[in-house]
Structure 1
Amino acid sequence: MQSDLDMASTSLSNLLNDLQLLIVSGVLRQSNAIVLSHPRADSGKEDLSFFIKDLFTRLQIGGVEFKKKALESLLQLLNDDEKSASVVAKEGNVGYLIHLLDFHNQPSVREQATFAVSVLASASEESRKSVFEEGGLGPLLRILETGSTSLREKAAIAVEAITADHDNAWAISAYGGIAVLIEACRSGSPVTQAHAAGAIRNVANVEDIKTVLGEEGAVLVLLQLLVSGTTAAQDNAAIAIAILASSGENFRALIIKERGLQRLMYMIQDLSSSNTLEYVLRAIASLSASDLMGRTLSSSTTFIIQLGEFIKHGNVTLQQLSASLLGDLPISDGNKRAISSCMGSLVKLMESPKPVGLQESAAQALVSLLTVRSNRKELVRDEKSMMRLVQMLDPKNEMVDKKFPVMVVGSIVGGGSRGCRKRLFAAGAYPHLQRLSSMEVVGAKKVMQRLAGNRLRSIFGRTLRE
């Protein structure tokens, strides 16, 4: 008898709680509260708001089947109308939805709730903020660690979206999430790997998390993804590696220890994604600060030739990064001769004022290549490049910082070749250098004197011979 009374009391208490939810939600005041149809695409904001309140009320008061139907309607709404996510975050009980991610809930309910939270985390800034503030990151990381393949994929998408907000990124370490993300990169499905790597990319800039990434072995896993991951995984891994490589000597040492430079050099030959290539080159540039790594890069003819190809055929970012590397590396004369065909492209890059630093990178790369005599002769025979170079010297051309073409012309005339100087003089470089000298442009006077002195000696010599 007592047991029956307890059961009846509990049942009545649950019904009273459900009724209280119904009263508070306001759905009973609507004439269509018993059966509510899915809002049409042209429905007003008020109708959508009421539909969402009704959904979450049904989600909280019903049994398993009731919850499943409510979640199906919620997912349909979120998938059909991306804008509805913000209304769901505002009008719905996101905290209760996250509660359904708990392992104690019925598996099918938990799966649908995970899908819904993943959509909310990815859909808008407002809904993402709601998921985070209601404590969604911890449960999502637990699902990423132990859930089924489909659940891990949805959890990884949500975690990447949440950590994209820098204000949320720090919280990953509070839940022990770094180890979870690294393991997801190591053993997850291709989709899970890509988004887990994206989350690591997002948190790699957080100072306190960098140390944990190094200690947990993130470098090796990210390098492996560069080789075996999908295009999306490679993109995210490359960005993360580039961030870590620029973070200090300790991380560069870790990357070098795992033969990271060799892996990165190998990658640029096969990658088709320009975005991934960009960050691979950024990582290589950071590693080249080491004298040993700089010599390794300089001695690789294949790598140097690839840089030359990027300068000729890559997008402007790849061109700038490649030119910067060429200007900084101690390349042998043989390798400089091997990429002489990119000099015309470097001259052309010097004409562009954007992005910032492009003119300087192109000029320094040219100065490096022009230390080889055959390259100087090849450049001055290129009429288009000579015309561009002389036009850049013109004081009226305000698009180019004059010190850069002066540097290049100085490298040509400093080589001692009479033919090179003669071609520059004939192309009209001297009058521009005169004006630049009077304007006190750095190096212009010295270059002008070398060009003029050679010209005068040539005239006097021809007169004496005659």
Structure 2
Amino acid sequence: QVVNISREVPPFDPISIESKKAATVVLMLNSPEEEVLAKACDAIYKFASKGDENKVTLLSLGAVEPLFKLVSHEDPLVRRNAIMVFGIMASNNDVRKLLRELDVTNSVIARLAPEEDIVVHEFASLCLAHMAVEYTSKVQIFEQGGLEPLIRLLSSPDPDVKKNSVECIYHLVQDFQSRAAVRELNAVPALLELLKSEYPVVQLLALKTFGVISNDRETRIILRENQGLDHLFKILETKEFNDLHVEALAVVANCLEDVDTMQLLQQTGGLKKLLSFAEMSTIPDIQKNAAKAITKAAYDPENRKILHEEEIEKCLITLLGTDNDGAKAAASQAISAMCENLASKDAFRVQGIPQLVQLLSSENEAVKEAAAIALADLTTASPNNASAVAEAEGIEPLINVLSAKRDGTVANAATVLTNMATQEPLRLSIHGIMNVIVEPLQSTNSLVQSKAALTVAAFGCDADARTELRNASGLEPLVKLLHSKNDEVRRNACWAVMVCASDELTAVELCRLGALDILEEINLSTGRKNNFSEGALDKLLDNNLSQKYSQVGYLSSSNIITDGFYDYGQNITRFSHPCDSWSATVQF
């Protein structure tokens, strides 16, 4: 008889394991016991919190993969401790790379569920905020439905949850799909509530988010309907919030693009407050952002009208006189935008133009360029403003900046001088320009080439100026521009050649440089021919009669032969008229 003896295994007394090695604790992440798992996660969290080097160590020890499994563990404590580690480790770029490869976003988003602990919400949203920095993760979070729970958590009682959630949303809305989804999910009211937070970092992140989403007109309408402007102006009017003023102004700048908002602010006195705020502020970024807000608004004709009624010109002239280069440049740009309003254009004449002329001598290239652009816009179709530039002693600095580093500065300075040249007294008062214009004619930038050629056309009607250009070897680069594939450059070059060919010496030199051949080629092309190409060819021949007779085989009755005419002989390839058909006036 066989007797089965059953042996009961006595219970094993619990033991406490202490380890000073991270590798040992990482091994414990594979334990089947929940208590061991929870303690291991807690120890790893403390280790990872001490610095980035420790996070890299844990990554090399293979801690991320088992932690990923524990994020969805059925035990709440294990789950909480594991997501805490993820939240803190995701700040490391190498860890984030592995998290993307493991596609952890779905599991982390699941931890945002209402039934989860607030601590879980805090670290799950922190993990997502870190990951949303990269485009691939942005797409994953959006496609896996992460926005909706994040927006819900904006109303969490915990400030850290709010901070992490709004930070993640800020990163997500850099993409237009997320911006539209934020609007559709009615996030604006919740974001506005964050502006009342007692924590500046939460307020700042909310404002930065508004700064992005308010680029969309539909969102601006929702913002206005939810009294968003009131919230923004309360921040601007509170001195204690001066660290938030720059971001608040950026949102207001976007809102000012809408005429409805501008009219509302004008009616409620908000616009006067805003302009006064910009004028009185001593914070450079606020001054700069205020000017940028005006620039954005001024792109709309109705807005320009409202801004002029509120005497925006005084505000911008004040900003031109600040000590900050960024504010000066932004104010100059705003003046350019306001120039579309003729009344504003006149309003800048007395005080604005002299200040802009001074800025042409700035050591800051951006300021110099913005001032040149503003002066170009102010003097276009405005003889009075062109005269005001001369009265402000602007001729010399304008000629100086034709050698500036930035193409925009050179092109616009040339435009101002061209605008001035439409008045003969001003043109005659501008000396030495043809020497300096040679360098812009050789630019590789088509805008600079075009404006430089136009300047030559404007000044080339004076014999002294033509002589100056000829002596400065400026005709050769001008002729080269006739080859340009850019229609405007080629057109202006033809115009300049037509004007410069007004005397025999210049006409002969232009022919020697090949202008005649190029112009004939241009005129044979329907695509390249322009209003001035035929006129330029005629002018060259009329002031180089020997060449004309050789080219076409005849002279017209208006052609006056002076001493020095000689017969080249027929140019067979171009001969088009019988030799005995010509007549001319001979003058000795």
Q: TM-score range by the shorter chain?
A: 0.7 to 0.9
User: 1:120-176 deviations in whole A, cap 9, x for unaligned?
Assistant: 112346888547514222321232134522243332232224445788666544654
- Residues 170, 435 of structure 1: alpha-carbon distance in 2 compared, 3 angstrom cutoff: same
Which residue is equivalent to 1:297?
389
Which residue is equivalent to 1:451?
544
Q: Which residue of 118, 122, 128 corresponds with 2:207?
A: 118
Please tell me whether residue 280 in structure 1 is matched to residue 374 in structure 2: no
Which residue is equivalent to 1:364?
454
Greater relative CO (CA pairs within 8 A, separation 6+):
1
Please tell me whether residue 200 in structure 1 is matched to residue 294 in structure 2: yes
Q: Which residue of 490, 510, 513 corresponds with 1:424?
A: 510
User: 1:276-333 deviations in whole A, cap 9, x for unaligned?
Assistant: 4444334323433444432232356x52233233333343333332222222213656
Please tell me whether the aligned partners of residues 501 and 536 of structure 2 are also in contact (alpha carbons under 8 angstroms). Answer: no
Which residue is equivalent to 2:409?
318
Which residue is equivalent to 1:214?
308
Please tell me whether the aligned partners of residues 185 and 193 of structure 1 are also in contact (alpha carbons under 8 angstroms). Answer: yes
* CA distance in 1: counterparts of 2:441 and 2:394, whole angstroms: 21
Deviation at 1:263, TM superposition (A): 1.4
Please tell me whether the aligned partners of residues 284 and 326 of structure 2 are also in contact (alpha carbons under 8 angstroms). Answer: no
Which residue is equivalent to 2:399?
308
Deviation at 1:92, TM superposition (A): 7.1
Q: Which amino acid in 2 is paired with 1:52? A: L
Please tell me whether residue 264 in structure 1 is matched to residue 264 in structure 2: no
* CA distance in 2: counterparts of 1:299 and 1:193, whole angstroms: 29
Please tell me whether the aligned partners of residues 482 and 493 of structure 2 are also in contact (alpha carbons under 8 angstroms). Answer: yes
User: 1:174-212 deviations in whole A, cap 9, x for unaligned?
Assistant: 654311220221223323222222222222233443344
Q: Which has the higher helix share?
A: 1
* CA distance in 2: counterparts of 1:286 and 1:127, whole angstroms: 29
Q: Which residue of 228, 252, 273 corresponds with 1:180?
A: 273
When structure 1 is superposed on structure 2, of 430-439 and 138-147 the one drifting more is 430-439
Q: How many residues align?
A: 412
* CA distance in 2: counterparts of 1:370 and 1:410, whole angstroms: 9
Q: Which amino acid in 1 is paired with 2:387? A: R
TM-score by length of 1: 0.72
Q: Which residue of 489, 492, 502 corresponds with 1:414?
A: 502
Q: Which residue of 319, 322, 326 corresponds with 1:228?
A: 322
When structure 1 is superposed on structure 2, of 179-188 and 158-167 the one drifting more is 158-167
Deviation at 1:460, TM superposition (A): 4.5
* CA distance in 2: counterparts of 1:212 and 1:73, whole angstroms: 40
Which residue is equivalent to 1:5?
none
User: 1:382-405 deviations in whole A, cap 9, x for unaligned?
Assistant: 55x4333344456xx655665544
Secondary structure at 2:124's aligned position in 1?
A: coil
- Residues 446, 114 of structure 1: alpha-carbon distance in 2 compared, 3 angstrom cutoff: same
TM-score by length of 2: 0.59
Which residue is equivalent to 1:138?
230
Structure 1 residue runs without a partner (length 5+): 1-25, 462-466
Matches within 5 A, 1:309-348: 309-329=400-420, 330=423, 332=426, 335-348=429-442
Deviation at 1:361, TM superposition (A): 3.4
- Residues 82, 158 of structure 1: alpha-carbon distance in 2 compared, 3 angstrom cutoff: same
Q: Percent identity?
A: 17
Please tell me whether residue 243 in structure 1 is matched to residue 243 in structure 2: no
Deviation at 1:69, TM superposition (A): 3.9
Which residue is equivalent to 1:52?
150
Structure 2 residue runs without a partner (length 5+): 1-110, 132-136, 526-532, 549-560, 568-588
Please tell me whether residue 38 in structure 1 is matched to residue 124 in structure 2: yes
Deviation at 1:247, TM superposition (A): 0.8
- Residues 82, 308 of structure 1: alpha-carbon distance in 2 compared, 3 angstrom cutoff: same
Deviation at 1:74, TM superposition (A): 3.5
Secondary structure at 1:441's aligned position in 2?
A: helix
* CA distance in 2: counterparts of 1:234 and 1:174, whole angstroms: 29
Matches within 5 A, 1:61-76: 62=157, 66=158, 68-76=159-167
- Residues 459, 113 of structure 1: alpha-carbon distance in 2 compared, 3 angstrom cutoff: same
Q: Which amino acid in 2 is paired with 1:376? A: R
* CA distance in 2: counterparts of 1:403 and 1:33, whole angstroms: 70
* CA distance in 2: counterparts of 1:193 and 1:454, whole angstroms: 62
Which residue is equivalent to 1:8?
none
* CA distance in 2: counterparts of 1:131 and 1:428, whole angstroms: 59
Please tell me whether the aligned partners of residues 52 and 92 of structure 1 are also in contact (alpha carbons under 8 angstroms). Answer: no
Kindly report the root-mean-square deviation, in angstroms, between the aligned alpha carbons of the 2 structures. 4.0
Q: Highest CA radius of gyration, 1 or 2? A: 2
* CA distance in 2: counterparts of 1:460 and 1:49, whole angstroms: 86
Q: Which amino acid in 1 is paired with 2:315? A: V
Which residue is equivalent to 2:584?
none
Deviation at 1:445, TM superposition (A): 1.6
Q: Which amino acid in 2 is paired with 1:115? A: L
Deviation at 1:270, TM superposition (A): 1.4
Secondary structure at 1:123's aligned position in 2?
A: helix
Please tell me whether the aligned partners of residues 312 and 319 of structure 1 are also in contact (alpha carbons under 8 angstroms). Answer: yes
* CA distance in 1: counterparts of 2:237 and 2:274, whole angstroms: 8
- Residues 236, 172 of structure 1: alpha-carbon distance in 2 compared, 3 angstrom cutoff: farther
- Residues 427, 47 of structure 1: alpha-carbon distance in 2 compared, 3 angstrom cutoff: closer
- Residues 28, 34 of structure 1: alpha-carbon distance in 2 compared, 3 angstrom cutoff: farther
Q: Which amino acid in 1 is paired with 2:415? A: S
Please tell me whether the aligned partners of residues 163 and 202 of structure 1 are also in contact (alpha carbons under 8 angstroms). Answer: yes
Please tell me whether the aligned partners of residues 197 and 233 of structure 1 are also in contact (alpha carbons under 8 angstroms). Answer: yes
* CA distance in 1: counterparts of 2:482 and 2:263, whole angstroms: 51
